[in-house]
Structures are given as structure tokens and as C-alpha cells.
Copies of this chain bind each other. A is one copy, B any other.
Amino acid sequence: MSRFTKKKKEHIGLSPFALVFRGMKKTDKILLRAMDFDLEDVHELEVTSTEQLQTLTKSRKLTWLNIDGLDNVDLMENLARIFKIENNILSDVMNPSVRPKVEELENGIFITIKMLQYNDDNLTVENLSLIIADNTLISFQEQPGLTFEPIRDRIRKHKNKIRTSGSDYLAFALLDVVVDNYIYVIGLLGDKIESLEDEMTSDPSKDLLESINAYKRELNFLRKHIKPAREMILALAKLESEYIHDENHIHFRELQDNINEASELSDSYREILYDQLNIYHSSMSTKLNEIMRVLTVFSVIFIPLTFIVGVYGTNFENLPEVHWQHGYFLMWGVMLLTTLAMLWFFKRKKWF
């Protein structure tokens, strides 16, 4: 299967307001989970009806609504109506090939970013979209997962900043998990890359080359997603909006530091991979050169010997040496001297 989302012929010319799910269905059941909390209380519920949604909009506490699964157009239209979200924003939410971006809305901020995770050794990509509104944070994921459990636990257990700092701080906390996961994922790949180094010097085999190429492909895949995420977070850290409190700006700058770290880490591993590739190629060619040199020297030593025995294999009537009593042994002597002379010459020239 292709690594890239392709444009489908029938989607060309579609209105940007058309609510069409453009991705692959990743989950069977769409799950809406809400957390409604202030410093004192935390209230969790699974939303199943439109009425519940409307009740949530009236809550004076901070509400975090998390939607897992994006392929239900009716639900999206309901959300759009209840939370006053513009159609083209929801169209972006439902399009998994949208680039990471941050956009100011009339009543909030829209953020979309890719989440990267290893599932059973496969690197998976998933879109996360956030809408930061006045007292509400809406997050959209393609499928349910445990990624944000640490945040839910922090909300449940600690009566501190996360309960009181507003929807922008909550969005920061989620994005921070996403970026930490980037670093974690790069670290896992990095472990595999670094483990190649020992094999490299001991026994450079053909499998090694395939591993290097596979890791290179995986790393490029990571880098391709980190680059636009970095641009997005840079834009977010610079954003002057009423929906981001002044005291939270520092956290978005921290996020920027983290994504820069991810980016630099991936740069470092790329350099290591390139070095490994060079070392592999040069050790392979060194090995071949060594073989060829030894074999060539070996062949060359036999060339004059074979010539000499050829000479005494001729049938000339008048061939003096063959009639000498010790001719045969003299021939062996000459051949021995020739061999020694050649070995001495090659040794001196450091040819083997």
C-alpha cells in the first residue's frame, strides 16, 4: 500500500464547504467522551444524544469534548450547529491529508496536527484536530486510544493548574503529549539505528544494507510529518489571540523548544544513517578489494611456474636440461627461488 494519501479523481472540483469524509474508516463506533471540570469537581460522561451536547455548551465549567472517529457526517453537522463551527473547518477535520495548521476562527482557534505512534512495530499516523473555544476544548481523533490517558489522570487526580488554566492550557497539554510522542518514537527508531553500529564493524552483510534502507525510509516518513508540525507550532507560539491567555504563552514557546528538539534528534539520526551507509559501502569495497588482491597475488605467483613446467614439457629433440641427471630437481629449485623472489617483492610493496 502506498505511503501517501492520493487525491481521488472524483474529489477534484469539490466545494471546500462539502462535508465529505476523505480518509479511511479507522473505527466502527464513534465515541464522544466529555470531561466537565473546575478546581473542585470533575464530571465525566459518554455523550450519546444531541441534548447532552447542548447541555454541555451551557456548562460554566471547562468542558473537554473528545470525539474518536470522523466518518459520521450527521454528527459533524450537529456539532457544527451546536458549537457554531464553520463548515470549511469541519471539512478539514474530516480530511486526513490536511496539513498541520493553526487558524483563527471567529469564536476560537482551530489546530490540526499529526499524531505518530508505534502499534506493534508499525508506525501509524493519525490526525488530531483541536478547537479552542471560550470555555470548551473539542478534540477530534480518528480512532479511540490511550494517548491522552495521562492528561485525563492529571485532571482526575490533581486539583491544580490544569483544572483552572482554561481551554488553551488544556490544548497545550494535549499538544505536549503529541510532541513528546514524536520524541519518544524517534528515540525508539534511534535505538534500532544505534544497534546497527555494532554489527557494522563485526560483520557487514547484505541484510544490514536492507535494515539501513528500511530505517532511512521510516526516518524520512517521520521527518516529513515533523517539519510541517514544527511550522504550525511556530505559528501557534507567535499567535496573538484573545483565546490564548498571556500567562500560557510561555508554554507554547516550550512546545516550540520540544518540537525543535524532535527535529534536531531526527537530523542527528539521519546523519548517523548516512554515515552508516558510507561505512557499510566502504567496508564492503574494502573487503572485496582485499579478496581480489590476495587472489590476484596468488594467481600471479603461479604464472611463471606454469610457464617453466610448460618449457620442459616441449618435445624438442635437442633440449639439454631434460637430459641432465638432476634437471628435474634443478627445475624445482628455480621455481622455489622465483616464488620467494616474488613473495619478497610483494611483501616489500605491501601488496598483501
Contacts and interface: CB of A to CB of B under 8 A. Distances in A.
A331 B306 contact: no
A340 interface: no
Interface string A155-176: 0001011100000000001001
A344 interface: no
A220 interface: yes
Looking at chain A's contact residues, is the secondary structure mostly helix, strand, loop, or mixed? helix
Interface stretch (A59-67, A124-132, A292-300): A292-300
Interface in A307-329: 307, 309-328
- Copies of this polypeptide in the complex: 5
A53 interface: no
A199 interface: no
Contact of A310 (B154, B161, B306): B306
A162 B309 CA distance: 90
A317 B311 contact: no
Contacts of A318: 324-328
Contact of A190 (B6, B151, B254, B310): B6
The 5 A-B residue pairs whose C-beta atoms are closest, nearest first, are A13-B150, A309-B310, A312-B314, A6-B187, A316-B328
Interface stretch (A38-46, A71-79, A236-244, A258-266): A258-266
Interface in A1-53: 2-4, 6-7, 9, 11-17
A319 B315 CA distance: 9
A9 B310 contact: no
B313 A261 contact: no
A334 B186 CA distance: 59
A180 interface: yes
B305 A2 contact: no
A307 B327 CA distance: 18
A88 interface: yes
A315 B306 contact: no
Interface size band for A? 35 or more
A213 B7 contact: no
Interface string A209-229: 100010011001000100010
A115 interface: no
Given A161-B15, A176-B13, A194-B2, A309 B314 contact: yes
A183 interface: yes
Contacts of A15: 154, 158, 160-162, 173
A276 B150 CA distance: 42
A231 B299 CA distance: 61
A322 B314 contact: yes
Given A13-B151, A305-B307, A220 B271 contact: yes
A181 interface: yes
Given A180-B12, A194-B2, A268-B4, A300 B307 contact: no
A23 to B, nearest CB: 15
B254 A12 contact: no
Contact of A17 (B99, B161, B183): B161
